[in-house]
Amino acid sequence: MDERYLNVEQVAEILGTTERFPRRLIEERRIEFVKAGRHVRIAASVLAAYIAANTVTPRLTHSKGVA
């Protein structure tokens, strides 16, 4: 079992948010997590999948009047 598990503080740091945001993701069950007693952990692979699923790619726009 080589998976790395992150606490809420670490997840917030990676996402560049406060701890409130990952806690809300957990509370709303919008991200998979592991609960060991009172400790909550998020697998690094789950966080990477969450980031990938919520990454928005830019649209390609076409300039008017260009042939």
pLDDT tens digit at each of 67 positions of the chain: 689 999 999 999 999 999 999 999 999 999 999 999 999 999 999 999 999 999 999 988 877 765 5
Global model pTM greater than 0.85: no
Q: What is the pLDDT of residue 33?
A: 98
Q: What is the pLDDT of residue 60?
A: 85
CA–CA separation, 8 and 14 (whole Å): 10
Q: Is 4 helix (H, G, I), strand (E, B) or coil?
A: coil
CA–CA separation, 11 and 49 (whole Å): 13
Q: What is the pLDDT of residue 66?
A: 59
Domain ranges in the chain are: 5-53
Q: What is the 3-state secondary structure (H, E, C) of 19-66?
A: CHHHHHHHHCCCCCCEEECCEEEEEHHHHHHHHHHCCCCCCCCCCCCC
Q: What is the pLDDT of residue 67?
A: 56
